[in-house]
């Protein structure tokens, strides 16, 4: 073998080894799980198309833990996971959790899957698993991403228990909800985190703080049936008008488990309430603000700091009122005065979900 041939063979061997190393590196990068969004970082403001054509935004559910269950295929494993979730949905919602199935499929298939499984939670479209991949989920197995009440990635569950994923998520929901409750228990002088609740009239998720252009925010929990709450209908109507003129945003919230959305719409219209009327069907707002009775008021300043929580005034009978404490609190917040001490609300206990 002459020198030229030997050098040519050596060159070919070097090229082959280099190409092999490059292919090995490329293959390792493609096969490795995506880095994704690490735990403790903010989740992106994602927007999804649901199985029923609705547009759902992740940020609308700030204030409660969200579970994104990513399923690469609508196969037998997906069916088993959904069955487990269905069985625990009441408990998950009672613990404040919101479950979404991220399905790598089209709207029509997702709609058929939702109907055939009689699912009690939404299916969101995640074509090619792109959203799941963004969070770092692998494309060939079911994984769940937990976003906490503040919109941060709290957990990434890679070891999903296919047959018992409902109970598995319930433990996470309780952990997240306990954190929210602990923050709320600090009470007056502390921030009330943003939250969105469904508007009874429009059906859209509506932020408690709206666009934040108001001078303060007032949330009042009312009831369609409670005699004490109904005794305040006219006072609350006048209060909403009064508040709007003074630059406040008032939301009326109905959270009783035995109130339908039709009940809420009818009652709010008959009462003449001004401002968004929210149907807190999952009682997320009730837990977020720690409301217990109707009527009960919560007043936040322009920065979202809780300044007053409790009764509207001191008498169920309007003609006997001596201390309109909520009006005084509103005046104090707007004019930088000393805010009166919060006084416990009285009325009917909010009916909890079973």
- 305-344 per-position pLDDT tens digit: 999 999 999 888 889 899 999 999 999 999 999 999 888 8
* Ordered DSSP codes for 224-243: SS-HHHHTTHHHHHHHHHHH
Q: Which two tokens stand for residue 124?
A: 């969101």
Q: Of 160, 185, 210, which residue is a domain's last? A: 185
- Asked if residue 22 belongs to a domain, the reply is no
CATH number of the domain that residue 60 is part of: 3.40.30.10
- Residue 49 parent element (H or E): strand 47-49
- Asked if residue 179 belongs to a domain, the reply is yes
Domain count, the chain: 2
* Residue indicated by tokens 């769940």: 144
Q: Does 242 have pLDDT greater than 60?
A: yes
Mean pLDDT over the full length of the chain: 86
Domain of residue 202, residue span: 196-349
pLDDT band per the 50, 70, 90 thresholds, residue 53: very high
- Residue 180 parent element (H or E): helix 165-185
- 177-212 per-position pLDDT tens digit: 666 555 544 578 899 999 999 999 999 999 999 999
Q: Does 243 have pLDDT greater than 50?
A: yes
Handedness of CA 333, 335, 337, 343 (dihedral sign): negative
Question: Secondary structure of the chain: what % helix, strand, coil (to 5)?
Answer: 40, 20, 40
Q: What is the pTM of this model?
A: 0.70
């Amino acid at each position: 073998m002459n020198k030229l041939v030997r050098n040519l063979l050596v060159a070919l061997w070097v090229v082959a080894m280099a190409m092999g190393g490059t292919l090995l590196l490329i293959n390792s990068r493609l096969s490795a799980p995506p880095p994704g969004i690490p735990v403790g970082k903010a989740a992106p403001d994602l927007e999804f198309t649901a199985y029923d054509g609705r547009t759902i935004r992740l940020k609308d559910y700030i204030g409660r833990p969200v579970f994104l269950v990513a399923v690469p295929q609508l196969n037998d494993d997906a069916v088993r996971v959904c069955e487990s979730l269905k069985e625990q949905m009441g408990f998950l919602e009672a613990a404040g959790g919101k479950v979404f199935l991220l399905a790598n499929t089209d709207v029509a298939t997702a709609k058929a899957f939702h109907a055939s499984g009689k699912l009690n939670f939404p299916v969101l479209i995640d074509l090619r698993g792109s959203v799941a991949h963004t969070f770092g989920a692998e494309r060939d197995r079911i994984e769940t991403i937990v976003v906490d009440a503040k919109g941060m990635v709290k957990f990434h569950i890679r070891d999903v228990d296919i047959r018992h994923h409902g109970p598995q998520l319930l433990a996470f929901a309780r952990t997240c909800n306990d954190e929210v409750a602990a923050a709320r228990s600090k009470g007056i002088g502390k921030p009330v985190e943003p939250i969105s609740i469904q508007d009874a009239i429009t059906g859209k998720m509506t932020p408690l703080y709206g666009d934040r252009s108001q001078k303060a925010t007032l949330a009042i929990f009312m009831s369609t049936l409670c005699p004490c709450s109904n005794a305040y209908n006219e006072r609350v109507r006048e209060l909403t008008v009064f508040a709007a003129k003074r630059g406040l945003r008032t939301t009326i919230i109905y959270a009783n488990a035995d109130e339908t959305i039709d009940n809420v719409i009818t009652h709010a219209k008959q009462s003449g309430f001004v401002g968004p009327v929210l149907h807190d069907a999952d009682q997320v707002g009730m837990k977020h603000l720690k409301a217990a009775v109707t009527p009960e008021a919560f007043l936040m300043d322009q920065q979202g700091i809780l300044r007053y929580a409790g009764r509207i005034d001191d008498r169920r009978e309007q003609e006997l009122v001596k201390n309109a404490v909520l009006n005084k609190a509103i005046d104090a917040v707007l004019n930088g005065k000393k805010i009166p001490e919060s006084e416990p609300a009285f009325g009917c206990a909010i009916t909890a979900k079973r």
